[in-house]
Amino acid sequence: MMKTLILLLITLVGSNSLYAQNADQQIKDLLESRDDQIKELMGPKGTEYTDAQRAELKEIINGIIDFEAMAKEALGETYDTITEEQRNEFVDLFATIVRDQSLNKLDIYRAKVTYNDISASGDEARVETLAELEDVRTPVNYEMEKKEGEWVITDMEIDDVSTAGSYNRQFQRIINQKGFDSLMNSLRKRADRA
């Protein structure tokens, strides 16, 4: 009986370890594939992009981001106090702004990426990378979740600054000073410019 219990325990620990290794590799493959697609579409430095190429780049760069999860984190406690209609509009505006900003500095996507650590636990993972471009090294980390069988990014940290956290500070300042409606008006204007 004791041997059976020990064997079962070893099997469970082993299968969890194997799952984590498989998840780590899945995540790395996903991010590397995305990186390769971006680099291929970008072509050599100095390339001028058509509107169609910019739209395709925007889709590849942002295609694995869970904007709803990131928007919820960015809005913080306020998210639970607004209506479903307000949430939907907020997520749409947030996604439009983040997607547009992803094209501001395209050269960063030319960086050589080193994967320092990928640690998956259940349906959550953290990926720590180092992006190197022209002798400048920038830590870029991802918080990820597995949703409906696919790994998605729920937050990004660049130089140890969380994207959702940074937006949260901006949004809370506006909400505290002028209210949620003022934030939405500001986001609508930013989204229109995008």
Which one-letter DSSP state was computed for residue 82? S
Tell me, rounded to whole angstroms, the distance of Cα 74 from its chain centroid: 12
Mean of the pLDDT values across residues 95-107?
85
Only one residue has tokens 């899945």, namely: 26
In this prediction the pTM is 0.81
pLDDT tens for residues 19-48?
456 889 999 999 999 999 998 888 887 778
Q: What one-character-per-residue DSSP string does 138-168 give?
A: EEEEEEEEEETTEEEEEEEEETTEEHHHHHH
List of domains in the chain: 2-193 (3.10.450.710)
